[in-house]
Structure 1
Amino acid sequence: MIILISPTKTMVENPNDTYCMSEFFEISKSIMKALSGSSIEGLMKLMKIKEPLATQNHERFSNFSFDGKGTSAILAYQGIQYKYMQPASFNKEERQYAQKHLRILSGLYGILKPYDNIYPYRLEMQTKLSINEYKNLYALWKPIISKYIMEEIQKSEEPYILNLASNEYSKVLDEQCKMYMITISFKVIKEGIPKNEATQAKIARGRMVHFLANKDVHTLDEIKQFHEDGYQYDETLSSVNEMVFVKNKR
Structure 2
Amino acid sequence: MKILIPSAKELNEKGRTVVPKPLSFQTKQILQSLGDFSLEDLASFYAISEERAQVEQERIEALVNGRAKSYPALELFDGLMYRSMERKNLSDKEQTYLSEHLLITTALYGVIPAYEGIAPHRLDFMMKLKPDGQSLKTIWKEGYDRAVVEEDQILSLLSSEFELIFSKAIRERMIQIKFMENRGGKLKIHSTISKKARGAMVTAMMKQEINQLEDLKKLEVAGFSYRQDLSREKEWVFVKD
Instruction: Work out whether 1:39 is the aligned partner of 2:32.
Output: no
Q: CA deviation at 1:222?
A: 1.5
Distance 1:75 1:200 in 2: 21
| Structure 1 gap ranges (5+) | 154-158
- Tell whether the 8 Å contact from 2:155 to 2:213 is kept in structure 1 after alignment: no
Aligned to 2:56: 57
**Which amino acid in structure 2 is aligned with residue 172 of structure 1?**
I
Aligned to 1:89: 89
| Structure 2 gap ranges (5+) | none
Distance 2:37 2:10 in 1: 21
For residue 181 of structure 2, the aligned residue among 179, 182, 188 is: 188
Q: Secondary structure of 1:211's match?
A: helix
**Which amino acid in structure 1 is aligned with residue 180 of structure 2?**
K
- Tell whether the 8 Å contact from 2:68 to 2:119 is kept in structure 1 after alignment: no
- Cα 1:56/1:18, change in 2 over 3 Å: closer
TM-score, scaled to structure 2: 0.92
Equivalent positions of 1:1-150 (< 5 A) are 1-14=1-14, 16=16, 18-21=18-21, 25-65=24-64, 70-134=70-134, 136-150=135-149
Q: Provide the aligned length of Structure 1 versus Structure 2.
A: 240
Aligned to 1:156: none
Q: CA deviation at 1:225?
A: 2.2
- Tell whether the 8 Å contact from 2:153 to 2:213 is kept in structure 1 after alignment: no
Query: CA offsets per residue over residues 51-89 of structure 1, 9 Å max, x none?
Result: 333222112112225589621000001111111112123
**Which amino acid in structure 2 is aligned with residue 62 of structure 1?**
E
Distance 1:170 1:131 in 2: 21
For residue 198 of structure 2, the aligned residue among 182, 195, 205 is: 205
Instruction: Work out whether 1:231 is the aligned partner of 2:230.
Output: no
Q: RMSD over aligned Cα, in angstroms?
A: 1.9
- Tell whether the 8 Å contact from 2:18 to 2:72 is kept in structure 1 after alignment: no
Q: Secondary structure of 1:49's match?
A: coil
Percent sequence identity is 29
Distance 1:106 1:188 in 2: 29
Deviates more, 1:63-72 or 1:186-195: 63-72
Instruction: Work out whether 1:218 is the aligned partner of 2:217.
Output: no
**Which amino acid in structure 2 is aligned with residue 184 of structure 1?**
I
Distance 1:14 1:116 in 2: 17
Q: Secondary structure of 1:64's match?
A: helix
Distance 2:199 2:18 in 1: 25
Q: CA deviation at 1:50?
A: 3.4
Query: CA offsets per residue over residues 150-178 of structure 1, 9 Å max, x none?
Result: 03x1xxxxx12100011111111101111
**Which amino acid in structure 1 is aligned with residue 46 of structure 2?**
M
TM-score, scaled to structure 1: 0.89
- Cα 1:246/1:146, change in 2 over 3 Å: same
For residue 234 of structure 2, the aligned residue among 229, 235, 241 is: 241
- Tell whether the 8 Å contact from 1:81 to 1:205 is kept in structure 2 after alignment: yes
